[in-house]
Amino acid sequence: MIARPSEVVVITGASAGVGRATVREFARRRASIGLIARGPDGLEAARREVEAAGGRALVLPADVADAAAVEQAAARVEDELGPIDVWINNATTSVFSPIKEMLPEEFKRVTEVTYLGVVYGTQAALKRMLPRDRGTILQVGSALAYRAIPLQSAYCAAKHAIQGFTESLRCELINDRSRVHVTSVNLPAVNTPQFGWNKSRLPNHPQPVPPIYQPEVAAEAIYFAAHARRRELNVGMPTVVAIYGNRIAPGLGDYYLGWQGYDSQQTDEPIDQHRPTNLWKPVAGDRGAHGIFDDRASATSPQLWANMNRGWLAVAGIAGLACAALVGRKG
């Protein structure tokens, strides 16, 4: 599925990680992209990548926790790039810490960025898409929206909130008979720079809970979901196991993560207690899409391939059964 050259896309959290990989995925199709993030270095690097690929880029330094800033960014996109076709809510932050050690202002900040940033982005997109009766809003979700883990309570709670908010929105769009589409892409553990700059009280360096995937896997899923009109798309078998396993045996998940969830989120290396963190302000420099776990991250997901091609697989399955039936009759 190929986006038309005139497609206008807004991506929050566009300067690094999954957002940066998603920028590259759309840029390869020469889309016009509004780049929203706080970090000027990563934004400028992303702009250069988009233009080198033949697309157009508009740098929009903004904190998604600021509703007015998000609205102003959306207005600039429409003024300078054209009507928004796809809005991708991706920006996030987290704190690695036991709840008993979290500060009230940390809970507030993670909620404002990770949850309310999605709310403000969605409202800015709806303001423009609803009158045209077209467009797609994509929420970058997580397996943790369904199965929370220890040490990231604020982040998990925000992802749960996004899920509830999005379900309410779907119902309202159906009631209004709107052709504006909303979809969610639930990600597994991804090798992004966030584990190097999120605030942490852990003794060792934070890591994604293995198995780990490269951000390009997430970007491929996001691009597909932005055009496939699926309700949601689960990425990676660990995401499927987490979501459906929690429905079947949530208590078992509590105990398993209670015993394993601390060690699985840390490497064996002590953390640098003086490293810069991005909770309150962006970290300087261009961090790109990848984190430090390239040697442990998978660049492919058979589950995602099967999910994206489920229609063809169903046809092949039916054809196989028909052939088997014919062979059986002849035998």
What whole-number distance in Å separates Cα of residue 182 and Cα of residue 211? 28
What whole-number distance in Å separates Cα of residue 211 and Cα of residue 309? 23
The answer, yes or no, to whether residue 2 has pLDDT greater than 70, is: no
Per the CB < 8 A criterion, the answer to whether 240 and 303 are in contact is yes
β-sheet bridge partners, residue 187: 142
Per the CB < 8 A criterion, the answer to whether 25 and 42 are in contact is no
Per residue in 37-79, pLDDT tens? 999 999 999 999 999 999 999 999 999 999 999 999 999 999 9
pLDDT at 326: 54
Type of residue numbered 313: L
Q: What is the pTM of this model?
A: 0.92
Per residue in 83-138, pLDDT tens? 999 999 999 999 999 999 999 999 999 999 999 999 999 999 999 999 999 999 99
Question: What DSSP string describes 44-109?
Answer: HHHHHHHHHTT-EEEEEE--TT-HHHHHHHHHHHHHHT-S-SEEEE-----EEB-GGG--HHHHHH
From the candidates 120, 155, 213, 223, which is the catalytic residue? 155
pLDDT at 274: 87
Tell me the percentage of the chain whose pLDDT exceeds 90.
Answer: 91
Per the CB < 8 A criterion, the answer to whether 233 and 247 are in contact is no
Per the CB < 8 A criterion, the answer to whether 287 and 194 are in contact is no
Q: What does the mean pLDDT of the chain come to?
A: 93
Residue 155 bears catalytic tag: yes
Residue-range domains of the chain with CATH: 8-300 (3.40.50.720)
**Between these two residues, 2 and 38, which has the higher pLDDT value?**
38
Per residue in 164-181, pLDDT tens? 999 999 999 999 999 999
Average pLDDT for 129-154: 98
Average pLDDT for 234-263: 96
Peptide bond into 211 cis (omega under 30): yes
Largest CA distance in the chain: 74
The answer, yes or no, to whether residue 23 has pLDDT greater than 90, is: yes
pLDDT at 312: 61
Residue 323 pLDDT level (bands cut at 50, 70, 90): low
